Amino acid sequence: GEALLASDNGQPPTTAQVNGLTPDGSYYVTAILVDDRDNRSPVKVAAFTTPDNTVPAFTSGYPVMTKTSVDLAQVTVMTNKSCRLYYAVLPQGSTAPKPEDFKANAITGNLGYGTRDEIKNSTDPFKVNSLPLEEQKTYDLYLWLTDYDGAKSSAVRKISFTTVDGTPPIFVTDPTP
């Protein structure tokens, strides 16, 4: 980056070039002004963070469905940066939502929809269905990540999952004594 220091005595401003900063890094800049008589100003310190220009993405091994019952479809996610996650559960074969559908809350026929604030490199298990699902039926979970300012976004990602058979077994004939 580049810093510009204004001059009070009619001299052109002074510029300082800073290199080697990392994205999403936290830094401090310290300055002391010295005049021609060697008088020094108080130390001024300013903190700043460089922008994280990476595209939000899921880290390796994520997302993963961690529960798939009729009452609880749960996904666990981990992202490469802090960002907003949108999700929607739809019947298998439904038209995939677009990013603008997520932002407008315009996903008709969903069986679960919402947004979550994700923290970089933290696992987050959460329930994705708001309505009961059917046993042994396949559903599509759509996930989309976007920066808080909307500058960078992932592609919409689909995970298909099938709910488990939750019916307890029964004897079809009486057991023999």
Question: Are the CB atoms for 2 and 15 separated by under 8 Å?
Answer: yes
CA separation (Å) from 156 to 92, 160, 171, 173?
Answer: 16, 13, 45, 49
pLDDT of residue 12: 73
Q: First and final CA of the chain: distance in angstroms?
A: 84
Q: For residue range 101-141, what is the model confidence (pLDDT) as tens digits?
A: 999 999 999 999 999 999 999 999 999 999 999 999 999 99
For tokens 């994205």, what's the residue? 23
pLDDT of residue 49: 85
**What is the amino acid identity at position 58?**
F
Question: Helix or strand or coil: residue 153?
Answer: strand
What phi and psi values does residue 99 have, to the nearest 5 degrees? -50, -40
Q: Model confidence at 18, in pLDDT bands (50, 70, 90)?
A: confident
| Tokens at 134, concatenated | 């059917």
> What's the CA gap between 126 and 142, in Å, rounded?
14
Note the pTM of the prediction, 2 decimals: 0.75
> What's the CA gap between 129 and 156, in Å, rounded?
18
Q: Which helix (H) or strand (E) holds 63?
A: none
What phi and psi values does residue 78 have, to the nearest 5 degrees? -150, 135
Q: For residue range 133-168, what is the model confidence (pLDDT) as tens digits?
A: 999 999 999 999 999 988 999 999 999 999 998 888
